[in-house]
Amino acid sequence: MISLVEWNDELILGVSMMDEHHEKLIGILNECYRALMLHDHHQELEVVMNELRDYTHYHFETEKKLMADLGYQESAGHLSAHDKFTDMIAEFHARFAEGESLVAMDVLQFLQKWLVGHIKNTDRAFATFVKEREAA
């Protein structure tokens, strides 16, 4: 199966909620990619794009709640990064609605790169904090 990005060990942070959510998100991005590659993709893409928006929202809210519960000091920057990603998803929806499939593909590639970078850096830092708290 064609994938935009493979789930791999480098993306595992050791906090099971985050790892489960991230694997699911990567899976949805790959579904968006596959749908976009289909010749007649309109309906399928709409379904997976809505799933991407809704699941991203759910995931970000879950991380936000965990940050608040644990009193994470670095939450402001992390949450504004989430807002940026949410804006990009809205852009992806808008581009697609305007019928710009090629632009939508560019945006999708950007989303994928952003998400991988976010998991490896920003989320990893938070996961390290979570694990330290759990160990304490």
Least Å distance, CB 102 to Fe ion, is: 28
**3 contacts 30 by C-beta, under 8 angstroms:** yes
Q: 31 or 63, CB closer to Fe ion? A: 63
Closest by CA to 129, choosing from 58, 86, 57, 78, is: 78
Match 């991988």 to its residue by tokens: 116
Of the two residues 31 and 123, which places its CB atom closer to Fe ion in the complex? 123
Q: Which residue is nearest to Fe ion (CB)?
A: 123
Least separation in angstroms between residue 97's CB and Fe ion is 26
> x/- site string to Fe ion, residues 34 to 73, per CB under 5 A?
-----------------------------x----------
Q: Which is nearer to Fe ion, 46 or 55 (CB)?
A: 55
Q: Does 123 bind Fe ion (CB under 5 A)?
A: yes
- Pick left, alpha or beta for residue 133 (phi over 0 → left; psi -120 to 50 → alpha; otherwise beta): alpha
Tokens of 22: 């991230």
DSSP 120: I
CA 107 to each of CA 14, 36, 81: distance values in angstroms, whole numbers, following the listed order: 29, 12, 16
> Is 31 a residue that touches Fe ion (CB under 5 A)?
no
Residues of the shown chain interacting with Fe ion in the complex, contacts defined by CB under 5 A? 63, 123
